[in-house]
Amino acid sequence: MKVLSPLASIALAQGTLCAAQGYTNESEVPYYGRSPAVYPSPVGDGATSSIWESAYQRAKALVSRLTDEEKSNLTRGFDGQCVGNTGAIPRLSIPSLCFSDAPDGVRGQEFVSAFPAGIHVAATWDRSLIYRYGHALGQEYQGKGINVALGPVAGPLGRLARGGRNWEGLGADPYLAGGGMGAITKGIQDAGVIASAKHWLLNEEEWRRNPGDMGESLSSNADDRTIHELYVFPFMDALREGVGSVMCSYQRLNHSYGCQNSKLLNGILKTELGFEGFVVSDWAAQHSGVASANAGLDVVMPDGGFWGRNLTDAVANGSVSSERLDDMATRVLATWFYTGQDDGYPAPGVYSESEKHDPIDVQADHATLIREIGSAGTVLVKNVNNALPFTNATRYLSVYGYDATVSAAPWANPSRYGGGYEVNFGWTTFNGTLITGGGSGGSTPPYVVSPFQALQERASKNKGILRWDFYSENPTPAYVNSDACLVFINAYASEAFDRTSLTDEFSDNLVRNVAANCTNTIVVIHSTGIRTVDAWIDHPNVTAVLFAGLPGQESGHSLVDILYGDVSPSGRLPFTVAKNESDYGNLLNSTVSFDAFPEVNFTEGLYIDYRAFDRDDIEPRFEFGFGLSYTTFEYSDLAITATGNSTSPLVDANIAIVQGGHPQLWDVLFEVTCSITNTGDVSSSEVAQLYVSIPDAPVRQLRGFERVPLAPGETKQISFPLTRRDLSIWDVVDQQWRLQAATYTASVGASSRILHLNGTIRIE
């Protein structure tokens, strides 16, 4: 009788993991469900770049002058002016560092901007625009004297269709999310602010994310390859751009809490990926003292947690080494020096709304950028008989739906702006147009331009007419003379709970009732993520549908720019919209368990979102990467050129790791080029997408994207660089990224299922 190893027993118990992911033996499922120990915590040295090296030299010199109590003060949070505050050391002019939310704007403050949410920015598929977004965010944080901005977000990635915080992230694909993570990180830190990439790692649902009366928090159990190729992947881009902080997450991961998981912190983040900055806990996510220190946590928030005096005692008795404490303090100070915050950085200008103060205005002209991103991230998914854009003859509009206007009182909590539509225990709550999601990731708008306000501005300019009914489920009378009927609905989500549905009966009924009486019904959806539409999408009177995302404070202007053709839509879906919620299978709902030690097994491995739909041959309603335009495009002249860089299976082990991983992972091995022509009569941008078929992996994976502005008749050549990382899989035996000797298919097109050009790459 064969006795199974513990790892094999775990794999079998989790339900055919090997078969689900194509693994052939138990050695390919290392530590699934159990997180191995990796000690000691690596000591940062600044070897990544001359800037980091200089920062480390200065930090180490300063730390050598500190007492253990002072070092400990740098590693813990204190109550104070900001959401999080580290300890100060006045005798050496080391200030308290100010930490603040959110990833789409400074939360809870006056005279700050409400930027589009991460999921909306991802829908632009435009790295340069995303960089400008990150830089504007950084400028506002810097102007308020905030040292650490808690973002960007790639955790959650979007494993679950109903995940409550998916909207904070950058789409359900690691390459798309990685492009956004890198661009936002660079933008924030170019403004002199420390970015904190979050949440590391596998923070994919809200149910029981923290321990409580029922027991411990949820354990997200995933295998080594899935962890690297899906969930670590986007963080690598932020690390490559020099991110100064990484926030560890609430959940347990393979049964070890995220902020004391030595494999994830010491092993992957600080060793494999050479992280030079500091790891900060999510708020109240520290659940041990000595264990979290030795596992690689550097700063605990929001208060002392298990540290403070306890940490200095642990160093004194040898439970935590003095080298570990020195490294914690050094990492904090090195990051402070790295971003230049020691040289004239503003003092915190963060205030509570209940105290009298002189507010600091940091808005600049960011409203213009917000409006541009709002339009660029709006996705047109249906447009029958050129219902859009409106023409000069479109002067009589009827406007319906709770999402068209601003709520009368969305400020139940002054620091938590509320919008959207909810049904709670049978009571319907109309909170107005949705521009951000709920929880700590939400923004605080200085104002909100609602769709109705912007439509009134345009109607006034055009000497048009509007009729409206915001709250009726079956609006009457029907204004049969209307040129078009606009129906505004939304789908809300928030931190602290997951969604219970991807649709709602009230909104579906509203659309059907309007369409029954209006032959030109246009539906606008502001949503925190996936919103199914099959209850009405095929109604003959529904002529156009727009996924308008979470566009921030200039929401109405961004939308009206699209409706009237001032801007041609170019947004693309950063997730898959199914025909039926059941099409998402096991990736629909969060895991509701009342066990003392709840867990969820990521047995789907690499197959989430469009990868799962491709594998299972399920036809989506709107596929990942899909979006329409007011013009047409033609693709041609595909060419694939080898750069001459090494295509050896593994990287050179003699080359030192830097932040972001082995330097050769970023070597460009092939250039894929093609030409795109605007064959219509409207200036617009096309989002060209490159998908690669990698052996022993999903049938296609996004590996390039470019938003290309084109005038009518104009042709441009674009290039997609393919790096070693882009073409590799994670080898769980060698514990390295492996390039396979095989034939790869490269396809370029307008979505994950509209692929116009195909070519092959051969690696010997």
* Res 571 pLDDT > 70: yes
The average pLDDT across 493-510 equals 95
Mean pLDDT (the chain) is: 93
* Of 699, 695, 686, residue with least CA distance to 749: 686
Catalytic position from the list 173, 282, 583, 614? 282
408: buried, middle or exposed (CB in 10 Å: 19+, 13-18, 0-12)? exposed
pLDDT at 303: 87
* Res 420 pLDDT > 90: no
pLDDT in tens, 540-557: 999 999 999 999 999 999
Q: How confident is the model at residue 429 (pLDDT cuts 50, 70, 90)?
A: low
The average pLDDT across 72-81 equals 95
350: buried, middle or exposed (CB in 10 Å: 19+, 13-18, 0-12)? buried
Helix (H), strand (E) at residue 258 = none
* Res 77 pLDDT > 70: yes
pLDDT at 20: 41
Please state, as a whole number, how many other Cβ atoms lie within 10 Å of the Cβ of residue 363: 17
Q: How confident is the model at residue 410 (pLDDT cuts 50, 70, 90)?
A: confident
Assign domain 365-572 one CATH number from 3.20.20.150, 3.40.50.1700, 3.90.1280.20, 3.40.50.970: 3.40.50.1700
The average pLDDT across 279-298 equals 98
Q: In a 3-state reduction of DSSP, which class is residue 2?
A: coil
* Res 423 pLDDT > 60: no
Q: What is the DSSP letter of 761?
A: E
* Res 13 pLDDT > 50: no
Extended beta strands in 266-425, E state: 278-281, 379-383, 396-400, 421-424
* Of 185, 203, 202, residue with least CA distance to 194: 185
Q: How confident is the model at residue 431 (pLDDT cuts 50, 70, 90)?
A: confident
pLDDT in tens, 695-731: 999 999 999 999 999 999 999 999 999 999 999 999 9
Q: Where are the domains of the chain?
A: 365-572, 631-763
pTM for the whole structure: 0.95
pLDDT at 335: 98
The half-sphere exposure of 746 on its side-chain side, counting CA atoms within 13 A, is 26
Pick from 479-488, 556-565, 742-751: least confident: 479-488
pLDDT in tens, 233-269: 999 999 999 999 999 999 999 999 999 999 999 999 9
709: buried, middle or exposed (CB in 10 Å: 19+, 13-18, 0-12)? middle
Residue 282 annotated to the active site: yes
pLDDT at 477: 78
Q: What proportion of the chain, given as a percentage, has pLDDT over 70?
A: 94
The packing angle between helices 174-190 and 127-143, to 10°, is 40
Residues, the chain, total? 764
Question: In terms of DSSP bridges, do strands 521-527 and 219-221 run parallel, antiparallel, or are they unpaired?
Answer: unpaired
Backbone angles phi, psi at 580, to 5 degrees: -130, 145
pLDDT at 145: 98
Strand partners, 671: 641, 721
* Res 427 pLDDT > 60: no
Amino acid at 281: S
Q: How confident is the model at residue 26 (pLDDT cuts 50, 70, 90)?
A: very low
Question: In terms of DSSP bridges, do strands 633-642 and 729-731 run parallel, antiparallel, or are they unpaired?
Answer: unpaired
The average pLDDT across 338-366 equals 92
Assign domain 631-763 one CATH number from 3.30.70.141, 2.60.40.10, 2.60.40.640, 1.10.760.10: 2.60.40.10
The average pLDDT across 510-522 equals 96
Query: Which tokens hold the place of 85?
Result: 């505050």
* Res 408 pLDDT > 70: no
* Res 1 pLDDT > 70: no
pLDDT at 32: 80
Query: Which tokens hold the place of 478?
Result: 């029907």
pLDDT in tens, 623-671: 999 999 999 999 999 999 999 999 999 999 999 999 999 999 999 999 9
Rounded-to-integer distance, Cα 668 and Cα 679, Å: 32
365-572 and 631-763, same CATH topology: no
pLDDT in tens, 114-126: 999 999 999 999 9
Query: Which tokens hold the place of 616?
Result: 């299972």
pLDDT at 695: 96
* Of 130, 146, 190, residue with least CA distance to 347: 146
pLDDT at 478: 73
pLDDT at 411: 72
* Of 737, 658, 730, residue with least CA distance to 275: 658
* Res 23 pLDDT > 70: no
Cis amide leading into 348 (omega within 30) = no
Q: What is the CA radius of gyration of the chain?
A: 26
pLDDT at 24: 42
pLDDT at 29: 57
pLDDT at 327: 98
Q: How confident is the model at residue 462 (pLDDT cuts 50, 70, 90)?
A: very high
pLDDT at 653: 95
Q: How confident is the model at residue 430 (pLDDT cuts 50, 70, 90)?
A: low
pLDDT at 9: 32
Contact in structure between 573 and 551 (CB atoms under 8 Å): no
Strand partners, 685: 709
Rounded-to-integer distance, Cα 533 and Cα 531, Å: 6
Query: What is the DSSP secondary-structure string of 198-215?
Result: EEETT----TT-S-BTTB
Backbone angles phi, psi at 266, to 5 degrees: -75, -40
Contact in structure between 233 and 178 (CB atoms under 8 Å): yes
pLDDT at 321: 98
